[in-house]
């Protein structure tokens, strides 16, 4: 242990009371030395004559100053977190104590005892400030500047050199063992300068800083920069083997004050390359405000987020339709605790036509968001009958009741797995889309009703998503399991998905299949590596490789595709008034779906899984079905 570290250890372990006693004693001796040095400077003699009067005045100087220092709070401050502005307090305290001492000297001079030269008080003030202030800031430097070698220290860097970064660094001084090594910024004009007392380094110095100071964490304070540059910075720092966290936008904080508990983990959707488009307020208001809305699967990840969004627009009533008791309890309790009491919880299955009809007719439902479905690909693949029953016949039940009850808008929440499906889950969702289109034809004949489907990819953090699984595996120390590192998937945030679903439904003409812009597909292997690095770990490749967490390849599971698609035909996608919502030029199965449904139900009654799967996949082969006009022309063709 070095001398500096020994000194730090002694200071840290000494009781607070004894630190104050020591500081008062040090100041007493320091002020006596300052007065002696003042005489020495005045007479240019380092051994000035010390008379009884001079000794008395020398003792009187700290006797006058110490109470002033106590009153000014110089012994209340924690030296490790002493602000730079404390120098003004020290100047103020020394000025008061010097003036008080001079007044006493003046009184003695009035008595004819002129023993203090006029220049001595000025020397005394200057030397006193230098010793008192210098000692405190030297102690702060010793205590606050770490080497990264102590176990209880937490050295960190802040990426960004703006006012918010300095504000954050100041706040971090008072929290545990954290200390800020410096700031990192892209602007060359800042490099090498001190901002708020912290040196600004260029990004290329990051590896050297991490190695030299043992940096364990980098906090990104750069919410105002463009999303493209932000993603480049995250990619840069995520491979350095340190934990990465970020601050929320300053507009989300009260009075611009940063608190340490507002520092959050980097969310994986920040790496997905998605640009934010504010929702169209008119679309949301038009379909939700003052309406009676029902959400099936209200306790699921998508369903619950839809409920939260819907309640923001003050519907007349929200019906929560959910088969899982605990999930229904959670979302009902959450909405009521937020002050929303116009909610009606219904514990029932979408396969129960009586319960569905009762919920819709008794509450006068005008808009239905059908999110209830089994979505986990391997589980549905292993439970074919349950997947067919819930996803196909459940959708048929809700759509039939909605049609007969005169519901204005029926919206099916679909999936990109419905495009050229290779698994039961995707096939059932495609059937659900075709059922919705068939009901749209009937609704168009009646007039006043709109049936549509909204198709999109994976939602980050949803139930069954790979992201929570990876996060849990990383927290447990690995390994992180991927089926195939080259597998790609589309991802979007759950909040964005809910907003786009509602906006798409507001644009429905009847029979539409809306496609949400999912951005670029993400490699699952790359996703796993980024999540490991963002957590501050290194990826271990192979049994003998270096790194903290290994990625294990388990192989593609039954029914899984290496990539997903949003379109049957990309060229047929039509733009809408919203830049992130497209309309597919879908084609209809006509009356053929009714016969296929009867055949599928008969196979299920016979418990013939082979026949059920054959019907399931054969019917959605586009080459074997008669086609009817595109969805966007449906309303015009019926009128």
Q: What CATH number corresponds to the domain at position 261? A: 3.40.50.720
Q: Mean pLDDT over residues 297-309, rounded?
A: 91
Same domain for 105 and 210?
Answer: no
Farthest CA pair distance, the chain: 123
In the numeric block, which tokens belong to residue 146? 């770490």
Is residue 595, in this structure, part of any structural domain at all? no
- What is the reported pLDDT for 567? 59
Is residue 540, in this structure, part of any structural domain at all? yes
Is residue 282, in this structure, part of any structural domain at all? no
Same domain for 125 and 53?
Answer: yes
d(CA 505, CA 514): 8
d(CA 290, CA 551): 50
Same domain for 504 and 412?
Answer: yes
Helix axis angle, 394-404 to 424-446, nearest 10°: 10
Helix (H, G, I), strand (E, B) or coil at 615: helix
In the numeric block, which tokens belong to residue 283? 């679309």
Is residue 593, in this structure, part of any structural domain at all? no
In sequence order, which ranges of 464-608 are alpha helices (DSSP H)? 466-475, 494-506, 524-534, 592-605
**């205590």: which residue's tokens?**
143
In this structure, of 87-96, 269-278, 532-541, the range with the lowest mean pLDDT score is 269-278
463-464-467 Cα angle (round to 5): 95
Q: Mean pLDDT over residues 336-358, rounded?
A: 92
* C-beta separation of 438 from 470 below 8 A: no
186, HSE (Cβ side, Cα atoms, 13 Å): 11
507-591-570 Cα angle (round to 5): 45
Q: Domain ends where: 553, 569, 588?
A: 588
Kindly give the pairing relationship between strand 178-184 and strand 574-575: unpaired
d(CA 345, CA 319): 6
Kindly give the pairing relationship between strand 154-159 and strand 217-220: parallel
Domain span at residue 50?
A: 3-144
Is residue 605, in this structure, part of any structural domain at all? no
In the numeric block, which tokens belong to residue 268? 């994986």
pLDDT at residue 309 above 80? yes
Q: Domain ends where: 94, 116, 144?
A: 144
Same domain for 388 and 517?
Answer: yes
Q: What is the DSSP annotation of 424-439?
A: HHHHHHHHHHHHHHHH
**């105002």: which residue's tokens?**
224
Is residue 103, in this structure, part of any structural domain at all? yes
Same domain for 408 and 551?
Answer: yes
Is residue 527, in this structure, part of any structural domain at all? yes
- What is the reported pLDDT for 572? 66
- What is the reported pLDDT for 327? 93
If you count them, how many residues does the chain have? 639
Kindly give the pairing relationship between strand 178-184 and strand 194-195: unpaired
- What is the reported pLDDT for 103? 84
- What is the reported pLDDT for 151? 45
Sign of the C-alpha dihedral computed for residues 281, 286, 290 and 295 taken in this order: negative
Sheet holding 217-220, edge to edge: 194-195, 198-201, 178-184, 154-159, 217-220, 243-246, 264-265
**């007479």: which residue's tokens?**
43
In the numeric block, which tokens belong to residue 139? 């102690």
Torsion angle in degrees (nearest 10) through CA of 527, 530, 534, 540: 120
In this structure, of 87-91, 229-233, 471-475, 568-572, the range with the lowest mean pLDDT score is 568-572
d(CA 128, CA 140): 18
Answer with the residue of higher pLDDT: 270 or 117. Answer: 117
In sequence order, which ranges of 44-117 are alpha helices (DSSP H)? 52-71, 86-110
Is residue 212, in this structure, part of any structural domain at all? yes
**């209880």: which residue's tokens?**
152
Same domain for 138 and 158?
Answer: no
Q: Domain ends where: 588, 608, 625?
A: 588
Same domain for 137 and 163?
Answer: no
- Most confident by average pLDDT, 58-72, 509-523, 524-538: 58-72
Q: Phi first, then psi: give them for residue 138, nearest 5 degrees.
A: -65, -40
* C-beta separation of 503 from 581 below 8 A: yes
In the numeric block, which tokens belong to residue 307? 């409920």
- Most confident by average pLDDT, 91-100, 179-188, 587-596: 91-100
Helix (H, G, I), strand (E, B) or coil at 290: coil
- What is the reported pLDDT for 424? 92
* C-beta separation of 70 from 98 below 8 A: no
- Most confident by average pLDDT, 103-112, 354-363, 565-574: 354-363
Same domain for 430 and 528?
Answer: yes
d(CA 481, CA 467): 11
Residue 338 DSSP code: T
d(CA 457, CA 434): 18
Q: How many domains does the chain have?
A: 3
- Residue 219 forms beta bridges with which residues? 158, 245
3-class secondary structure for 1-58?
A: CCHHHHHHHHHHHCCHHHHHHHHHHHHHHHHHHHHHHHHHHHHCCCCCCCCHHHHHHH
d(CA 217, CA 608): 57
- What is the reported pLDDT for 411? 94
For 193, 351, 442, the CA distances from 212, given in Å and listed in that order, are 19, 63, 72
Same domain for 169 and 130?
Answer: no
Same domain for 579 and 482?
Answer: yes
Same domain for 570 and 488?
Answer: yes
Helix (H, G, I), strand (E, B) or coil at 411: strand
In the numeric block, which tokens belong to residue 360? 């819709």
- The percentage of the chain sitting over the pLDDT mark of 70, rounded to a whole number, equals 75
- The overall average pLDDT reported for the chain is 78
- What is the reported pLDDT for 626? 41
pLDDT at residue 90 above 80? yes
- What is the reported pLDDT for 77? 67
Q: 192-230: per-residue pLDDT in tens?
A: 776 766 778 888 888 888 877 778 788 887 655 666 666
In this structure, of 372-381, 570-579, 623-632, the range with the lowest mean pLDDT score is 623-632
Q: 465-502: per-residue pLDDT in tens?
A: 677 777 778 777 778 888 888 777 767 778 888 888 99
pLDDT at residue 635 above 60? no
Same domain for 106 and 196?
Answer: no
């Amino acid at each position: 242990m070095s001398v500096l570290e020994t000194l730090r250890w002694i200071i840290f372990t000494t009781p607070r009371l004894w630190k104050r006693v020591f500081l008062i004693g040090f100041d007493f001796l320091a002020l006596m030395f300052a007065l002696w040095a003042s005489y020495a400077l005045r007479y240019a003699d380092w051994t000035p004559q010390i008379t009884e009067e001079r000794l008395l005045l020398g003792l009187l100087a700290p006797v006058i100053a110490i109470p002033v220092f106590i009153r000014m709070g110089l012994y209340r401050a924690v030296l490790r977190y002493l602000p730079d502005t404390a120098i003004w307090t020290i100047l103020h305290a020394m000025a008061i104590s010097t003036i008080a001492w001079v007044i006493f000297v003046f009184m003695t001079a009035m008595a004819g005892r002129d023993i203090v030269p006029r220049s001595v008080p000025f020397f005394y003030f200057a030397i006193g400030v230098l010793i008192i202030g210098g000692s405190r800031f030297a102690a702060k430097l010793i205590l606050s500047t770490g080497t990264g070698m102590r176990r209880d220290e937490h050295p960190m860097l802040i990426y960004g050199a703006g006012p918010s970064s300095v504000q954050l660094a100041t706040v971090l001084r008072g929290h545990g063992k954290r200390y800020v090594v410096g700031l990192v910024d892209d602007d060359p004009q800042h490099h090498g300068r001190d901002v708020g007392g912290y040196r600004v380094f260029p990004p290329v110095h990051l590896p050297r800083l991490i190695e030299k100071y043992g940096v364990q964490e980098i906090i990104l304070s750069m919410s105002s920069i463009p999303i493209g540059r932000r993603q480049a910075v995250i990619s840069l720092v995520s491979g350095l083997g340190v934990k990465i966290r970020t601050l929320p936008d300053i507009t989300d904080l009260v009075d611009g004050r940063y608190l340490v508990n507002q520092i959050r983990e980097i969310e994986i959707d920040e790496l997905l390359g998605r640009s934010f488009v504010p929702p169209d307020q008119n679309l949301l208001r038009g379909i939700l405000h003052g309406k009676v809305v029902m959400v099936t699967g209200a306790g699921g990840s998508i369903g619950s987020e839809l409920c939260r969004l819907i309640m923001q627009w003050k519907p007349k009533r929200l019906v929560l339709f959910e088969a899982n008791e605990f999930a229904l309890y959670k979302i009902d309790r959450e909405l009521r605790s937020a002050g929303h009491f116009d909610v009606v919880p219904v514990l029932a299955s979408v396969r129960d036509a009586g319960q569905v009809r009762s919920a819709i007719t008794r509450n006068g439902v005008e808009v239905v968001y059908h999110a209830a479905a089994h979505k986990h690909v391997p589980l549905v693949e292993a439970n074919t009958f349950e997947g067919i029953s819930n996803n196909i016949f459940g959708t048929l039940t809700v759509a039939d009741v909605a049609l007969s009850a005169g519901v204005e808008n029926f919206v099916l929440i679909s999936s990109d797995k419905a495009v050229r499906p290779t698994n039961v889950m995707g096939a059932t969702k495609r059937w659900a889309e075709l059922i919705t289109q068939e009901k749209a034809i009937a609704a168009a004949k009646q007039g006043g009703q709109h049936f549509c489907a909204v198709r999109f990819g994976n939602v980050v953090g949803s139930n069954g998503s790979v992201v929570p699984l990876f996060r849990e595996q990383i927290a447990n120390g690995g390994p992180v399991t991927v089926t195939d590192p080259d597998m790609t998937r589309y991802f979007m945030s759950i909040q964005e998905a809910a907003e786009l679903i509602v906006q798409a439904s507001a644009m429905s003409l009847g029979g539409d299949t809306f496609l949400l812009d999912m951005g670029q597909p993400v490699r699952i292997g790359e996703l796993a590596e980024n999540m490991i690095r963002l957590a501050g770990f290194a990826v271990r490749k192979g049994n003998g490789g270096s790194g903290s967490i290994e990625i294990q390849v388990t192989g593609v599971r039954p029914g899984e595709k290496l990539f997903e698609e949003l379109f049957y035909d990309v060229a047929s996608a039509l733009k809408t008034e919203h830049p992130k919502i497209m309309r597919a030029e879908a084609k209809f199965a006509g009356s053929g779906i009714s016969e296929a449904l009867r055949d599928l139900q008969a196979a299920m009654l016979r418990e013939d899984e082979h026949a059920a799967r054959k019907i399931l996949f054969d019917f959605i082969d586009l080459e074997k079905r008669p086609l009817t006009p595109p969805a966007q022309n449906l309303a015009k063709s019926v009128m």
